[in-house]
Structure 1
Amino acid sequence: MLKNGNVKRRAGVRDDVLNSDLISATTLAKKYKVSRQTIVGDIALLRAKGEPIIATVGGYKYQKKESQYHGLLVCQHTSEETRLELETIVSMGGEIEDVIVDHKLYGQLVGTLGISTLHDVNDFMSRAEKGDHQLLSSLTMGIHLHNVACNNEEHFLEIKQKLSELGLLYLD
């Protein structure tokens, strides 16, 4: 494909991500009749040019400027308690933006999640349970962090309190 065609496709991809709540690389690849890897490359180039596109467990989304509150939770629990943690946060109206662990060799490892609904939780847990995958928290004895977006600080503190009651927060 000519260079001009690549630029046009990338502009289209950008618009598709901007105008969708969530869209997968596979969907975009089918639409533009290119490989999924080409779309992944297009997204990388768009990000490098400053487009705030994030990859979530369900696909790409445009990170719009929000007036939401963002707080950081420090959690520690078993892998069996992961579903309870995620369901608690989203059922209380929070969005789990990511998971972060501090690794001895690599430093901070971040996985973008974008989990905001029970459907997202089920999708994530299904892939974690059915695949040959390990949670990032398995590298750090269950200790991990989550950036959580919600309506305001009071709402965040309610989520944090509930996780504390359930024994899912890290206590030093």
Structure 2
Amino acid sequence: MDTKERREQLLQLLKQSQVPLTGTALANKLGVSRQVIVGDIAILRAAGVNVYATPLGYVIPVLQSTAVTTHFACRHGRDRMGEELAIIIDNGGKVLNVIVDHPVYGEIKASLMLSSRRELADFLRDSANSGAEPLSVITGGVHLHMVEASSEVILQKIEQELRTAGILVE
């Protein structure tokens, strides 16, 4: 298979998947190295394909046409990261990303794409095992999450629960 065919197959695998696919899994499926997949993803992005690299793997998000989104400004330490994300997920939200405003580099954004307790558990485990600090450490715990939900009512419920937990920045 040539490069063009491989990239077309890669794109189809990503479009058909309901869950994120790791670079290793894609490499095994297509018979190439993980680094080749990383390069192919970069080429697909340059061509305008909306591919997210999440902690769980690569994904092409399928946004529901009725979905609504908002940003929640939050503040907490690493010890409350799981609680915050669980509040959002348990109330019907999908955490699309985390954003911090770095004093030198400006906005730094990382895709999360978390919508279930299992994805959250995997994310928290990987975060703990990596030893890396969350992005919010550079802003004293202050960060934004873009959250998607099926209705404004769900977003309002999430906002109230974050407020009650003392996580929402007012």
TM-score (norm 2): 0.95
Is 1:13 paired with 2:13?
no
1:37 maps to 35
2:158 maps to 159
1:87 maps to 86
1:127 maps to 126
Letter in 2 for 1:135: P
Cα distance in 1, alignment partners of residues 98 and 60 from structure 2: 19
Compute the displacement of 1:66 (Å). Answer: 2.3
Is 1:96 paired with 2:99?
no
The range that moved more, 158-167 or 49-58, is 49-58
**4+ residue runs of structure 1 moved beyond 3 angstroms?**
none
Compute the displacement of 1:125 (Å). Answer: 0.9
Q: Indicate conservation of the 8 Å contact 1:79/1:135, yes or no.
A: yes
Is 1:28 paired with 2:26?
yes
Q: Deviations over 1:73-128 (max 9, x none)?
A: 00001110111001111111111000000001111000100011111111111112
* 2:44 paired residue among 46, 60, 64: 46
Compute the displacement of 1:65 (Å). Answer: 4.2
Cα distance in 2, alignment partners of residues 104 and 168 from structure 1: 22
Q: Indicate conservation of the 8 Å contact 1:90/1:118, yes or no.
A: yes
Compute the displacement of 1:47 (Å). Answer: 1.1
Cα distance in 1, alignment partners of residues 61 and 126 from structure 2: 24
Query: SS in structure 2 opposite 1:169?
Result: coil
Aligned residues: 168
Structure 1: gaps (5+ residues):
none
Q: Indicate conservation of the 8 Å contact 1:57/1:115, yes or no.
A: no
The range that moved more, 46-55 or 58-67, is 58-67
Aligned residues with identical type, % of pairs: 35
